[in-house]
Amino acid sequence: MTGGPVIDGRRLLARLDAFAAIGATPAGGVNRPALGPEDRAARALLAGLGAARGFSPFQDAAANLFLRRAGADDGRPPLLIGSHLDSQPTGGRFDGALGTLAALEVLETLEDHGVVTAGPVELVAWTNEEGSRFAPGAFGSQVYAAGAFPRGWQDTLDNDGARLPDELAATLAALPQAAERPLGRPVAGYFELHIEQGPLLEREGALIGVVEGIQGTRWLEVVIEGQVAHAGTTPLADRRDAMAVAAAVIARLQATVMPADVDARLTVGRLTLAPGAVNVIPGEVTFSIDLRHPSGAEIDRLEAEIVALAGEVAADGGCRASVRRSMDVAPARFDARLVGIVEGAAKRRGFPSRRLFSGAFHDALFMARLGPAAMIFVPCRGGLSHNEAEYVEPHQAIAGAQVLCDATLEAMAGLAAT
Amino acid sequence: MTGGPVIDGRRLLARLDAFAAIGATPAGGVNRPALGPEDRAARALLAGLGAARGFSPFQDAAANLFLRRAGADDGRPPLLIGSHLDSQPTGGRFDGALGTLAALEVLETLEDHGVVTAGPVELVAWTNEEGSRFAPGAFGSQVYAAGAFPRGWQDTLDNDGARLPDELAATLAALPQAAERPLGRPVAGYFELHIEQGPLLEREGALIGVVEGIQGTRWLEVVIEGQVAHAGTTPLADRRDAMAVAAAVIARLQATVMPADVDARLTVGRLTLAPGAVNVIPGEVTFSIDLRHPSGAEIDRLEAEIVALAGEVAADGGCRASVRRSMDVAPARFDARLVGIVEGAAKRRGFPSRRLFSGAFHDALFMARLGPAAMIFVPCRGGLSHNEAEYVEPHQAIAGAQVLCDATLEAMAGLAAT
């Protein structure tokens, strides 16, 4: 594979610019909410660019958009490569777009070089990965991998009252040239290139992140119940201060969980207390814990530790604690063969790489449930993402797309051999 | 003084019932917001009861209401006794009303027994002690003691947009029989009977609290500035987590300040964080500290400790801390002679008593700036106050009023002797 086709970096960068213009914000970012007019414009542009090279467009019921390049044996399940085109409200130019347009670049490079792959290769642009307009995110890939819509999805509204089913139908209708296809069709494999959205690659001077999997995420809601009392007249022995207990629990967790395990992530991102007056001891505090780890067993262990700690600290403070799960996404381990292919491809191109786990969700998390999957990360400046200042150096974007291209060809070769 | 006149306990209890009916809530509490219709009705009833016994009513510009019983030398400054008639929205029957109606009971007892005091004794019902309709509280006594209104007071609105000056004028106009008198007139002294609003007396079986002073209160607003980042992708070393820092600061303060000093009170009653998403590391946390101590120097020392601790913990966590004062009320030490009179009166009646500091504000805090002042506490069940379930046993209410009566007479005697 050392002599595999070289992608057209200049074309890739031009495409990134063209798509960044759709929903461009004055600060240099992108506002392209899922299924809105800008998202539809981006999908139309992508379909048009594909059609110009003879790649057939398809859509499924979740408005996931596919561009297909046929293989020698076109009856085989396709190898999927891609990402998403929607953005956060004040998002960046690369989150999702880089992986989608790199996939287009791979298809075009194969076309440029007249490469005949053993089976079909398809670009996919998943619907509503961000989840910022319609919750939850990774909607398209979840629905695709599950082969069905989740219960109650029809009632999903955006902040302006628009209904998800209506916006989905309008988005599908806006691309009549794309033939309909069923959800959950088998795939030979899935590769996704994405920005790291974290600081590790940049700090270590790595150009390619070889993603071994995606951390599991469990959201806990902790409620501490104490007793409202007067801040001035209530001596320590009589206090059942829910905020004092909450602070002690959070401080203990912050001092122990992450320092003890470099792979663990624990974040308290929300906290509310009642009644919320300066001179009143809080009777109730509710806070969230976002807990992540590559190992599901470790997440279970940490949750048990949190439940025990909260109960113990609450009892010491005359309060009661309860902990409930509000979300739970199991970790994904990517396919060892595909991960090895990514690592080998980076190595052969001379790109410094390191293995890592993704701390963020991606569509690959759900695609890994359907078939072999892997991801390629490239650095982003300062680890910054979901931010208009999000930035990837041109040579980093090009390197990522090259690894995607090489990995696609090697995976196809391997798939042909099986 | 052992043989001083005995108050009419049954009359006092009947008066407490009559006033509890004005603004009575279904749950047995009282809703009598300052300067509202119920407050005016209570003032009118009080003035009427006074007029029936020949006590002349007066009002000052802050609508503080006085009922005067003349003394032998009526040119002397009066001894003031009283409290307030307004309540919290879901307040109790005793907070304020007990002290006000006990003062009326004292005047009537003196009248019943034909006691001639050396100087005049006046009941006072201070305006807007609670501050729950118009902030700040203890408005009437503050204005009276200062002799002037605070800057900007005219712009004070309640939640429905009613203006404090309008409500004050209407309240004054509703009691045309009360002659106007200036703010800040000299007083010979001030006694206030009040419920403890804390658990100490009940727990120790004391009937009378001999209040030595009122804790100073300082409100601090602590802001921790960190950096917003992704909960999943940001490793510990890169986190500048404002919530983790805030929790550590609060936990350290709770673990040290009150355990080290039985007189200190530290409460975090408000906390807000931004942006407030489960999966986002908070970039900013703001929380309040309500700090109380009988010693102003100790409050200064604790504030310095808080500033140093917040700065140190914030620096360790890659954040910045700032601390500003949002309110500061110096402690009050009551007059040693008047405190001794209260203690002696309780002892002579055989009422178990203990000395204590008040953790709550009272009008006496401001009156202590104008002249000698002291307070008498009686227990309230479970220390509960600002609550419709607030409760004082009949014998406790009567004992408090009796001590107020005895102390009034002894203070007048002492004043006569000087």
User: In chain A, what are the domains?
Assistant: 9-214+331-417 (3.40.630.10), 216-329 (3.30.70.360)
Task: List per-residue pLDDT tens for chain A, 418 residues long.
Answer: 457 999 999 999 999 999 999 999 999 999 999 999 999 999 999 999 999 999 999 999 999 999 999 999 999 999 999 999 999 988 999 999 999 999 999 999 999 999 999 999 999 999 999 998 998 899 999 999 999 999 999 999 998 999 999 999 999 999 999 999 999 999 999 999 999 999 999 999 999 999 999 999 999 999 999 998 889 989 999 999 999 999 999 999 999 999 999 999 999 999 999 988 898 899 999 999 999 999 999 999 999 999 999 999 999 999 999 999 999 999 999 999 999 999 999 999 999 999 999 999 999 999 999 999 999 999 999 998 888 999 999 999 999 999 999 999 999 986 544 4
pLDDT in tens, B343-366: 999 999 999 999 999 999 899 999
The verdict on a CB contact (< 8 Å) between A278 and B265 is: no
Q: Which positions of chain B have pLDDT values less than 50?
A: 1, 416-418
Q: How much is the pLDDT for A416?
A: 45
Q: Hey, what are B210's tokens?
A: 């001999």
| 3-state SS track over chain B | CCCCCCCCHHHHHHHHHHHHCCCECCCCCECCCCCCHHHHHHHHHHHHHHHHCCCEEEECCCCCEEEEECCCCCCCCCEEEEEECCCCCCECCCCCHHHHHHHHHHHHHHHHCCCCCCCCEEEEEECCCCCCCCCCCCHHHHHHHHCCCCCCHHHCECCCCCEHHHHHHHHHHCCCCCEECCCCCCCCEEEEEEECCCCHHHHHCCCEEEEEEECEEEEEEEEEECCCEECCCCCHHHCCCHHHHHHHHHHHHHHHHHHHCCCCEEECCCEEEECCCCCEECCEEEEEEEEEECCHHHHHHHHHHHHHHHHHHHHHCCCEEEEEEEEEECCEECCHHHHHHHHHHHHHHCCCEEEEEECCCCHHHHHCCCCCEEEEEECCHHHCCCCCCCCCCHHHHHHHHHHHHHHHHHHHHHHHHC
pLDDT of residue B1: 44
Q: Say if the Cβ atoms of B233 and A273 lie within 8 Å.
A: no
- Known binder of ligand: residue A386? yes
Phi, psi at residue B229, to the nearest 5°?
A: -155, 170
Cβ <8 Å between B236 and A246: no
Q: How many angstroms away from the CA of A131 is the closest CA of chain B?
A: 13
* Test mutation, B219, B266, B268, B272, chain A, max A CBs within 10 A: B268
Distances (CA, A) of A279 to A232, A286, B4, B289, B365: 7, 19, 40, 9, 17
In this structure, the number of other CB atoms found within 10 A of the CB of residue A402 comes to: 27
Dist. CA A240–CA A314, nearest whole Å: 9
Give the model confidence (pLDDT) of B74-105 as tens digits.
Answer: 999 999 999 999 999 889 999 999 999 999 99
C-beta separation of A82 from A125 below 8 A: yes
Closest residue of chain B to A248, computed from CA coordinates: B251
Does B270 sit within 8 Å of A276, measured CB to CB? yes
The pLDDT of residue B418 is: 41
Nearest to A254 among B248, B280, B292 (CB): B248
Angle B124-B128-B129 from CA coordinates, rounded to 5°: 75
Of A231, A270, A280, nearest to B265 by CB-CB distance is A231
| Cβ atoms B263, B293 nearer than 8 A | yes
What pLDDT, on a 0 to 100 scale, did the predictor assign at position A118? 94
pLDDT at A415: 59
Rounded to two decimals, the ipTM of the complex is 0.85
Which of B233, B267, B271 lies closest to A198 in CB terms?
B233
Which of B232, B244, B269 faces A231 most closely, judged by CB atoms? B269
Cβ contacts from A onto B, under 8 A: 190
Instruction: Quote the minimal CA–CA distance from A233 to chain B in Å.
Output: 4
Q: Which residues on A lie below 8 Å from B292 (Cβ)? A: 231-232
A362 annotated as belonging to a binding site for a ligand: no
Best residue of B265, B286, B299, B377 to probe chain A, by most A CBs closer than 10 Å: B265
Q: What is the mean pLDDT of chain B?
A: 95
- B282 CB neighbours in chain A (<8 A) are 268-269
